[in-house]
Amino acid sequence: TRNVARTSTSADGLATGGLRVVDTEPVEDSAESPGLGPRRALFGWALAVVGLPALTGALQAAPGGRSGTALEAMLYLSLAVAVALVGGRWPALMAAVAGALLLNYYFIPPLRTLNVSSGNDLLTLAVFSVTAVSVAAVVDSAARRREQARAAEREAQMLAMLNRSVLGGEYDVPRLLALARDTFGARTA
């Protein structure tokens, strides 16, 4: 949390006065910090849970001969990327793992097993998995950085407003402290 403290300015101009924000606890970027938000994560989970079986069914029902695993792998990868963009890291990781398993089970010979008989098919599964997991990590990281930037922008705007108020001669200290406390999410000011 952050606290706002009032100090005074001495005659020699040393910074002993004004309002200042003091960190009382370090701010950490934990794994639980907000990235895309719970609502978007829920949409990501829904897209993965509905999209994977729907894609599998559509690919199996598609007319025509087997086109190899390239088309199927690209479609599953596209779905995993869409899940990453919508829901972030965890739904995308699930979509990547489930997509690799479905791709292997339904489209890589021998069919209806999790065995892989070809080195090319094994490479396809490996590249698919690494790419899907990498995209999920990048999207999640970008969302977290965006949220951090928004928080920093809100803090900068608040500090600028506080400075304008003090420089403009407004010394309603209780109002300024309440505003700073609310902006920085502190318990006390």
- Is the separation of the CB atoms in 51 and 85 below 8 Å? no
DSSP 95: H
Structure tokens at 31: 């794994």
pLDDT at 11 over 70: no
Which residue type occupies 72? Answer: E
3-state secondary structure 141-177: HHHHHHHHHHHHHHHHHHHHHHHHHHHCCCCCHHHHH
| pLDDT band at residue 178 using 50, 70 and 90 as cut-offs | confident
Q: Kindly report, residue by residue over 115-163, the tens digit of the pLDDT.
A: 988 888 889 889 988 988 888 888 878 888 888 898 889 888 888 877 7
Cα separations (Å) of 84 from 19, 33, 50, 133?
A: 43, 17, 15, 9
Do you know the residue count of the chain? 189
**CA 2 from centroid of its chain's CA atoms:** 24
- 37 or 39, higher pLDDT: 39
- Which residues are registered as beta bridge partners of 19? 6
| pLDDT band at residue 51 using 50, 70 and 90 as cut-offs | very high
| pLDDT band at residue 168 using 50, 70 and 90 as cut-offs | confident
- Is the separation of the CB atoms in 185 and 42 below 8 Å? no
Look at the pTM and tell me if it is higher than 0.85: no
